[in-house]
């Protein structure tokens, strides 16, 4: 079996990250397996490395990411188009995207070296901002695109089109356009449905809508979604996966479609999405 070159990236601010990096490096060394470490991650154990997340995406076969869901979102953004499979070890509290807990790090190393994992290919959003017909910005997201009112306590009005046809004018605090992966994040908090990763759809969910009949709408992921702030109001704000804040002026158009690339997430075989959902959301059937 050909060897697997693994890249190691950690959320350096997480408690226990340094200890886990040290243990993982020792375990890979025990198996005489090569591992490349991202620069800030290497600094946790007083090593130097020339590698960025993006450069690891260029040279490695799989990326071992220590942190939580937010860490994986950040890594996905830093990879750009150099996407590689991600095997997540959870150092946080919830972790829908991570594969395994920190206590099972030996199992993680064994799974990677022996390729005992499956890949769940997650849909990515391609988000484009247009002003006067010209591209102003382009972002790619795993979870969602969120259009919001910012810090001002006021409703915003957003015109939404589906493949060029008007869907609705939303008067709300904002709007979440989510992938199936992101359906357990902000969209769920805003009242949206939970989608299975392979459902092949997007969900459009208003945040605190003024009209109570405005509810989540599920559309096929081959659909192009257009969101335009109405001209009689001020600027609104766009974030993709909670990353960089973009100011959207009245009349700008936000176009959202399925990206040509997917993100492969490593999963342990024999563990279904429904089991993960039940565990993470504590659906035990108990009333307490």
- The answer to whether 149 and 173 have CB atoms below 8 angstroms apart is yes
Q: CA nearest 266: which of 82, 34, 144, 90? A: 90
What's the CA gap between 10 and 179, in Å, rounded?
25
Q: Is 69 a catalytic residue?
A: yes
Q: DSSP state, 58?
A: H
Token pair recorded at residue 53: 């997340």
Q: DSSP state, 191?
A: T
Residues with Cβ within 8 Å of residue 132, at least 6 apart in sequence: none
Which residues in 198-233 are b (16+ Cβ under 10 Å) and which e? ebebbbbbbbebeeeebebbbbebeeebbbbbeeee
Q: Catalytic pick from 69, 173, 241, 252?
A: 69
- What is the set of active-site residues? 69
């Amino acid at each position: 079996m050909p060897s697997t070159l693994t890249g190691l990236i950690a959320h350096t601010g997480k408690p226990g990250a340094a200890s886990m990096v040290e243990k993982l490096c020792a375990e890979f060394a025990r198996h005489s397996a090569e591992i490349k470490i991202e620069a800030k991650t290497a600094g946790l154990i007083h090593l130097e490395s020339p590698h960025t997340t993006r450069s690891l995406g260029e040279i490695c076969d799989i990326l071992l990411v220590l942190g939580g869901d937010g860490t994986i979102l950040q890594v996905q953004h830093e990879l750009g188009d150099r996407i590689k499979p991600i095997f997540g070890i959870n150092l946080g509290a919830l972790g829908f995207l991570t594969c395994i807990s920190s206590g099972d790090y030996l199992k993680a190393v064994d799974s990677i070296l022996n390729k005992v994992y499956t890949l769940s290919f997650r849909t990515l959003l391609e988000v484009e901002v247009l002003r006067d017909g010209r591209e102003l910005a382009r972002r790619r997201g795993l979870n969602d695109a969120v259009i919001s009112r910012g810090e001002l306590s006021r409703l915003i009005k957003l015109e939404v089109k589906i493949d060029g046809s008007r869907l609705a004018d939303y008067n709300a605090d904002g709007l979440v356009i989510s992938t199936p992966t992101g359906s357990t994040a902000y969209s769920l908090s805003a009242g949206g449905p939970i989608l299975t990763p392979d459902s092949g759809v997007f969900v459009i969910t208003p945040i605190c809508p003024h009209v109570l009949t405005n509810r989540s709408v599920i559309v096929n992921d081959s659909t192009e979604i257009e969101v335009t702030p109405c001209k009689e109001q001020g600027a609104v704000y766009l974030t993709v996966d909670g990353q960089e804040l973009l100011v959207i002026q009245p009349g700008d158009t936000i176009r959202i479609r399925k990206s040509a690339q997917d993100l492969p997430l490593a999963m342990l075989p024999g563990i279904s999405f429904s089991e993960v959902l039940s565990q993470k959301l504590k659906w035990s059937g108990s009333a307490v």
